[in-house]
Amino acid sequence: MRHGKKINHLGRTSSHRKAMLANMASSLILNKRITTTTAKAKSLKTYVEPLITRAKNDNTHSRRKVFSYLKDKEAVSELFRDVAEKIGDRPGGYTRILKTGNRQGDNAEMCFIELVDYNETYTASEGKAGGTSKRKRRRRGGKKKSQKSGESQDQTAQAGDQSDQHEQPEESSSGEATAQTPSQESAQEGGPSDQASQPDEAQKKDDSGQDQKKEE
């Protein structure tokens, strides 16, 4: 039974499979895109991407290790000279698989496998789409409940102070009115009595003067 065996042998012996993948990797590095079956493309992806990662360190040891897999001087020179510089900032995922349908004859599933950074049309469309539709949105942190309750208490306190300020002038005006009412009442009451007393005194004086005249 074949449990737990993830390597796709592709119907070939080990030596045949290694030679085929090395040849396909060299063609991908030189041409930047090749057409093959989906099963071979998936195997090639796991074969060539570690070599591209090793090409980021351009030294003699890395070149010899890559040459031991590819066995092609032109492919090694292209990988370290051009490819490594263009994909140096990418942290992995150097290849892309694009399925193209099934092949006539044996109905095998076909695809393109390409280096991501060399497809300028596809990357440009991705950049435009990302610039228009995808926007980074930061979620604003909501205020805590304690802060909200404190602010509401402050607002209620301010409203109470304003209402007290409006009520104080009314109370003072009403107090003045109540304070003036007794004096006004006394003035009103005293006014007519004083006016009535003044004619009585004048009549008494006139009567006393007439009595004196009669006695004489």
Classify residue 209: in a domain, yes or no.
no
pLDDT at res. 179: 47
Q: Which domain holds residue 58?
A: 14-121
Q: What are phi and psi of 137, to 5 degrees?
A: -120, 125
> For residues 113 and 103, is the Cβ–Cβ distance under 8 A?
no
Please give the pLDDT value at position 211.
Answer: 61
Residue type, 179: A
Whether the CB-CB separation of 165 and 157 falls below 8 Å is answered with no
- What residues of the chain score a pLDDT lower than 70? 123-137, 141-153, 160-216
Using an 8 Å Cβ cutoff, are 24 and 40 in contact? yes
What is the reported pLDDT for 120? 81
Give a yes or no: residue 73 inside a domain.
yes
Give residue 139's pLDDT: 72
> What is the tally of structural domains in the chain?
1
41, 113 contact by CB (below 8 A): yes
Can you tell me the distance from the alpha carbon of 128 to that of 51, in angstroms, rounded to the nearest whole number? Answer: 31
Q: What is the pLDDT of residue 177?
A: 46
In a domain, 214, yes or no: no
pLDDT in tens, 124-179: 666 666 555 556 667 776 555 556 566 666 777 777 666 666 555 554 444 444 44
Structure tokens at 67: 């040459």
Q: Which CATH number belongs to the domain containing residue 80 in this structure?
A: 3.90.1030.10
Cβ 111 vs Cβ 102: under 8 Å? no
Position 213 in a domain:
no
